[in-house]
Structure 1
């Protein structure tokens, strides 16, 4: 495995001891906690549903078509105008049993629906609020009907509930554009009491709830202490309920994992992404849309294919996670036809291959070129489910690095058809039919003796995979084994160069391949990495530079970074470093920083931007880091070769709604990653 893919893994190791923290004596409750999570870990697959008043405009408002469940704030709709949607909400085609049947037929084991999204509208009969479904012409408790249908079908019902509430008079802060909505008399603690009363209704009137899935915790008014208190309160109402980590403040951007610290929450919540590697000791669930929006948007036709969705499900299960796949129902209460078709295709695959998903554990292998693996214990051994995305042209499926003896193998779709398995050095090789019965993912069931004993390929450790002069690379393998490698892209064998602890000095474009050996016998599959030498950009000949960097501040509504040059800035100035505190409003603004950075020596430099929302970094007018788009705090990086001296630097940043943040860092040939200091920034 390459070092740069391990960041998530190491983060997981650091965090493992912090998930499931309940604020009490953990040791006494360990067995009970494991039992509480069992059904969820076994299920692997659930349906997310985002539905509310925002389905009525269907993503479109006054000529713009990029809205969905956030439409009240992204389109800046005044409260009194948004409230008029109450009169139009009448989903007469809603059929709870039909919804639940589609979920069950797709192989889903639980449904998580928005009891209340950020707009504050409730899909149930709330006695604590008039802003709910009973104030609409529909006047039916949607959650009660779903609860009854789920119980009948054996599906777990779960609720998404927003901490943030744009409708309640006591919720703070207001949206930045709500200039005419006063905060006078608003008391946030009173809002928290209101939210707790609503949660008590949800946990006492709708039977046993599987999960409470919180969101909207990122604003400063919500605190860690309130998160801990709310977690304990919910567990006092339903002791066996599972609660996601967004009840607390520790989530790190869209990766959804909790930072180091004593944070509560039972599982992490990656959003629209799948972690690169498995996360040992961490429960996590990746939530994802079928197109680009959570709520219904009639103009969004960027649908993921059934193939992509099925392979995402397999990828997530192979890494020990759950997949929460979203539906945005239409205003009439029906699912979009595109969603129905994809659910049916997933269901067809799950009808045959569901055993390879449910009650399985993460793969003991890493980065198999042909697909993924899930596993479960059987009497006397282990059943490996080999998910073959790319059918081998030679008809031989190679499972490298496994030391166990094979018992039998067959197609999961045709269990009576036995496949031949043979040993070839480090690998078990399975002879397959010439053509895959399923081009999306044909599953091979392979039974082996005992628990999997796998010798992983050598770990290739390098600070970078691009360099300007030379680069030291090190290899790491299981103790007691040798590592042999090649630098020309050829397959290592027993006569290839033996690795020594001093490392490998790379000075030119190189394809490094490495394999673990036990004596003269190969013991693992091959790891591979490509290293590229980059040319260095020449320094700029500039004079009369002054300390600090210029900024221009803009106000407007962007979903992506704009070319700010033709725009008129609201204000300009100079700051010591990338300081965006000069903004005049909390939302809907952007900055452009321009100047020079003094590079201390020739070499390869990696620049990092962590931002909420979008950002970009340019060196000498070349885009080096692209972190554009609307998202939570996310870090991206890029590498460039630079000569010693001054180089033009430009950073652009936009903030739309929600949280804000911008950090700009770098790493050079002789220093570790650090925020770019004011001492190297200049302007003319």
Structure 2
């Protein structure tokens, strides 16, 4: 544990903590007013991923989109609003090429930034002069995106911010988040301004499939959009949209996580830290295994081209999707999301299972591996295969590469060979998907586990969890703990460390006191219950122990 803490401290000192477009967003659902149609929700649940595009005129500076205006000097504001946008010229923006790449990578819809918090409009609006058609580019870039996306058969999505710093500037209101309380007259003017922009977006560009509302107030945007486009699916504003994180547990209702390729939403040419293609695939797989989807963000350069680092990662994901798409499309969760490094998706009412082996970077081509799946049992008609290969022929060799399975007391043992040549060096490092047909789960459903609060104890910190609707069958539980490096960095800073096991009481409650949580540090922790030998995880919480 000490080694991991040391690594965490070094990482923080070297890299710092980066901020997201809305750093406090973890669950921005709003169910009190939700007119999403069931058939549209079902379409969304069947889509494994979408492409998010953050793009605005301040990409010229390679800085955070919009947020630098909060607390900025008058000189910064004046030059930002009066000069910077005039030099914006994404003359190399090729929506057909970008859309084709997104489709190849398995995305089913694209969400484009129509207006971020700065108020700069990426369409030819009549509401303001602060818009794309008043730049050197002069054209309506939003229309170009819409036409290309629709022509490719992908869902057309808009990102829209009702927060508008340009409006605040014009009315001498300090630029802040959240916006300071407005007078009734200004609040009405603000709503009218937002409504007029939404009416333009919802009437001038044909059918819009998806809307992502970022910021407040959302009510005017939702009302206008559903009134003019009854079939539109609103994500943020009507469902769970955790940002820069994945939920710790499976979620039954529809949700998406929007996550950046690096740390920045918009193009950041320097001091950026990209996730690898393998890490992005892990995010996609984990999201699908937990019942949601991934909205993966890219940020074009100011000239409109996609940075090569982002293009490369999308092409790596495209290769994986070309082989394994059926494990991501129109799938649902299994009874547990994963067993160690093997993640699960299923379809056909859990008659078909995809066991996704994520720790495959050292699995050499032509090598046989066996895996025991505790949550799976065979039937007389069970079949096993590996997606993408026929498991009959391997290049230049005459080995037995067929797939086998054996039902044991510990679970279903599956034996397969990685036999397809994807890279010239025979070292394709990305996940391998084993397809199991005509199988059954060993448990009808997993218990519902919740991570509760924590509190200082004489010997460290006491962590609490609970199993809901407890029937007495689960008798052991524990917690996972790791350093918390901030919302952007938390995904891959360090592995989870397991605490000692706890005994579950008659009400389903359990606790563990850990002496390894150090003063002054922040930690993530999540409760885990052991059910029929399977680990069932809850969502995580963050704890910071104060110095005594």
TM-score normalized by structure 2? Answer: 0.72
Aligned to 1:432: 416
- Please state how far the C-alpha of 1:72 moved relative to its aligned partner: 3.0
Distance in 2, matches of 1:58 and 1:336, equals: 12
Q: Deviations over 1:188-218 (max 9, x none)?
A: 211211111111111111111111111122x
The residue aligned with 1:445 is: 435
Give the corresponding residue for 2:294. Answer: 323
Within-5 A mapping of 1:79-228 = 79-82=77-80, 83-169=82-168, 173-175=173-175, 187-217=186-216, 222=217, 227-228=218-219
Distance in 1, Cα, partners of 2:108 & 2:334: 22
Show the 5 A alignment for 1:291-302. 291-302=262-273
Q: Which moved more, 1:424-433 or 1:192-201?
A: 424-433
Distance in 2, matches of 1:79 and 1:472, equals: 47
Match for residue 515 of structure 2 among 534, 539, 551 = 534
Question: Whose strand fraction is larger, Structure 1's or Structure 2's?
Answer: 1
Which position in structure 2 is the counterpart of 1:73? 70
For the residue of structure 2 that corresponds to 1:194, the secondary structure is helix
SS at match of 2:156: strand
Q: Which residue in 2 is equivalent to 1:350? A: 321
* Equivalent position to 1:410, from 376, 385, 396: 385
Deviation of 1:172 after TM superposition, in Å, equals 8.3
Where 1:330 maps in the other structure, the secondary structure is: coil
CA shift, 1:370, in A, is 2.0
Cα 1:513–1:443, aligned 2, differ >3 Å: closer, same or farther? farther
1:38 counterpart residue number = 42
- Specify the alignment match of 1:255 in structure 2: none
* Number of aligned positions between the proteins: 455
State the 1:228 CA deviation: 3.9
Return closer, same or farther for 1:464/1:268 CA change in 2, 3 Å cut-off: closer
Is the 2:375–2:441 contact (alpha carbons within 8 Å) kept by the matching residues of 1?
Answer: no
User: CA offsets, 1:577-611, max 9 Å, x none?
Assistant: xxxxxxxxxxxxxxxxxxxxxxxxxxxxx9xxxxx
Change in 2 beyond 3 A, CA 1:368/1:451: closer
Structure 1 residues 422 and 156: alpha-carbon distance in aligned structure 2, compared to 1, 3 A threshold: same
Corresponding position of 1:578: none
Q: Distance in 2 between matches of 1:188 and 1:474?
A: 44
Q: Structure 1 residue 173: deviation in Å?
A: 4.9
Give the alignment of 1:411-490 within 5 angstroms. 411-417=386-392, 418-433=402-417, 438-449=428-439, 453-454=443-444, 456=446, 468=458
Check conservation: 2:191, 2:220, Cα contact below 8 A.
no
Per chain length, whose mean CA-contact separation is higher, i.e. which structure has more relative contact order (CA < 8 Å, sep 6+)?
2
Q: Report what 1:231 is aligned to.
A: 222
Instruction: Tell me the alpha carbon deviations over residues 86-126 of structure 1, each in whole angstroms, 9 at most, x when there is no partner.
Output: 22111111111111112112111111011001111111111
Would you say the 8 A contact 1:172–1:188 is kept in 2?
no
Which of 398, 416, 419 is residue 372 of structure 2 equivalent to? 398
| Partner residue in 2 for 1:307 | 278
Residue 520 (structure 2) pairs with residue 623 (structure 1): yes
Structure 1 Cα separation of the partners of residues 214 and 436 of structure 2: 41
Displacement of 1:416? 5.0
**1:415: Cα distance to partner?**
4.2
Contact 1:51/1:295 (<8 A) preserved = yes
* Structure of greater Rg: 1
The alignment status of 1:333 with 2:285, answered yes or no, reads no
Deviations 1:20-66 (A, max 9, x none): 54478xxxxxxx8211222222112111111111111122xxxxxxx
Distance 1:472 1:37 in 2: 36
Q: What does residue range 443-592 of structure 1 map to in structure 2 within 5 Å?
A: 443-449=433-439, 453-454=443-444, 456=446, 468=458, 511-512=500-501, 534=515
TM-score normalised according to structure 1 size: 0.59
- State the 1:245 CA deviation: 3.6
| Residue ranges of structure 1 left out of the alignment (5+ in a row) | 1-14, 25-31, 60-66, 178-182, 247-264, 488-508, 516-528, 536-605, 607-617, 628-633, 641-647, 650-684
How much has 1:80 moved relative to structure 2? 2.5
Q: Is the 8 A contact 1:455 1:478 kept in 2?
A: no
**Does 1:385 find its partner at 2:383?**
no
SS at match of 2:167: coil
**1:377, distance to aligned residue in structure 2 (A):** 0.8
For the structure 1 residues 424 and 479, does the alpha-carbon distance in structure 2 shift closer, same or farther, using more than 3 Å as the test? Answer: farther
Matched, 1:637 2:543: yes
